[in-house]
Amino acid sequence: DTEVTQTPKHLVMGMTNKKSLKCEQHMGHRAMYWYKQKAKKPPELMFVYSYEKLSINESVPSRFSPECPNSSLLNLHLHALQPEDSALYLCASSQARGRQGGETQYFGPGTRLLVL
Amino acid sequence: AQRVTQPEKLLSVFKGAPVELKCNYSYSGSPELFWYVQYSRQRLQLLLRHISRESIKGFTADLNKGETSFHLKKPFAQEEDSAMYYCALSLIQGGSEKLVFGKGTKLTVNP
Partnered with residue B26 across adjacent β-strands are B3
Tally Cβ neighbours within 10 Å of residue B28. Answer: 7
The answer to whether the CB atoms of B97 and A101 lie below 8 A apart is yes
Write the pLDDT tens digit of every residue in A6-53: 999 999 999 888 999 999 999 999 999 999 999 989 999 999 999 999
**In contact, A66 and A74? CB cutoff 8 Å:** yes
Q: Determine the 3-state secondary structure of A84 from DSSP.
A: helix
| Chain A residues within an 8 Å CB radius of B49 | 102, 104
* pLDDT given for residue A18 in this prediction: 94
User: Exposure of A75 by Cβ count < 10 A (0-12 exposed, 13-18 middle, 19+ buried)?
Assistant: middle
Q: What phi and psi, each to the nearest 5 degrees, are found at residue B103?
A: -75, -10
Q: Is the pLDDT of residue B52 over 90?
A: no
In a mutagenesis test of the B interface, which of A36, A107, A111, A112 is the best target, namely the one with the most B β-carbons within 10 Å? A107
| Chain B residues within an 8 Å CB radius of A96 | 96-97
Burial code (b: 16+ CB inside 10 Å, e: under 16) for A19-42 equals bebbbbbeeebbbbbbbbbeeeeb
Q: Determine the 3-state secondary structure of A72 from DSSP.
A: coil
**In contact, B19 and B5? CB cutoff 8 Å:** no
Range 60-79 of B in CB contact (< 8 A) with A: none
What is the pLDDT averaged over residues A99-109? Answer: 85
Write the pLDDT tens digit of every residue in A48-90: 999 999 999 999 999 999 999 999 999 999 999 999 999 999 9
Tally Cβ neighbours within 10 Å of residue B8. Answer: 16
